[in-house]
Amino acid sequence: MSKILFIRKASLGDVILTTGVIREYCKINNCKVDVHTDSVDVFKNSPYVENIVRNADKSKYEKVFDLTLVSETNSKQHSIDAYSEFVFNEIKMDSNPELFALPSDEMENLPDNFIAMHLRKHFGGKSRNLPFDFYVKVVKGILAESDLNIVIVGSSGDITASGIIDNNDGRPDSRIFDRSKLSLQQTYCVINKAKAFVGVDSSPMHIASCTKTPILSFFTQSSHKIRESKYRIGSKHISIAADIDCYGCIETDWNTPKECRRDDFECVNRFDAENVVEQLKELIKFIPQ
């Protein structure tokens, strides 16, 4: 058992954002650590983690870094910076997150020249479920104005390729491929090969942050300033904020049970599909047909 324990509960994306800080701690101290988390797959294959413990006895460790709620209680700071200051008492700009995949995680039968898209539709967090019609317009715009293929990633509850219907024959476009319901490492491998990643502030976006793939992401209740990709040297991203006056409400209301103080989740409707397609062109500089 390691002498150092890191704790971070909560959602998958929050745990991914701790990985760079843990890596840098291990490098500086020439050690491995134990981790207590609900998202165990984040640390699969990590050379810096000795054990993933289910029921951690803090008394058995020389040092314990409990990162749970560290970013939430420092909500005006980027999550990575909040973790970094908690552990090192300073911000370390080399603390970009990472995941570790094996050759067996690589996916076959991927199309050439594709972007990865996450079309979130989750039972929780309605303020990040953008409208289905918006996603359809973005997909159709990409297909119409480029030679790019689209690979859909995400979980079983999200919109899949079969949900994006071509109006001509009632079937998904032949340039749309479904690679949802994959493991964490498999999803990482798909995004790593993409020309770009497009999606809302959610776990797949944080997986994309572990790659060099350009990212175009949408933000609603969380400000892009505290959640967007950060410290990826030489990698581009574009963050698009909801055009609404209560944008980033979680910065002040994170500990309030009420998810939307307006009660209507209007922020999800404040994105323009045509603008997104233009921004994507700028991001990856693809040549229109």
The domain segmentation of the chain, as residue ranges, is 4-88, 103-284
Number of Cβ within 10 Å of residue 236's Cβ equals 16
Taking every pair of C-alpha atoms in the chain, what is the biggest distance, in angstroms?
64
> What pLDDT is stored for residue 232 in this prediction?
93
> What pLDDT is stored for residue 289 in this prediction?
47
Nearest CA to 118 out of 166, 190, 174 is that of 190
Nearest CA to 135 out of 118, 149, 151, 122 is that of 118
> What pLDDT is stored for residue 60 in this prediction?
92
Tens digits of pLDDT across the chain (289 residues): 679 999 998 889 999 999 999 999 999 999 999 999 999 999 999 999 999 998 889 999 999 999 999 998 888 899 999 999 999 999 999 999 999 999 999 999 999 999 999 999 987 778 999 999 999 999 999 999 999 999 999 998 899 887 776 656 556 688 999 999 999 999 999 999 999 999 999 999 999 999 999 999 999 999 999 999 999 988 999 999 999 999 988 876 555 556 788 889 999 999 999 999 999 999 988 655 4
How far apart are the C-alpha atoms of 75 and 251, rounded to whole Å?
A: 5
Q: Is the dihedral of CA 204, 15, 233, 200 positive or negative?
A: positive
In terms of CATH, what superfamily is 103-284? Answer: Glycogen Phosphorylase B; (3.40.50.2000)
pTM: 0.94
Per-residue tokens: 111: 């199309």
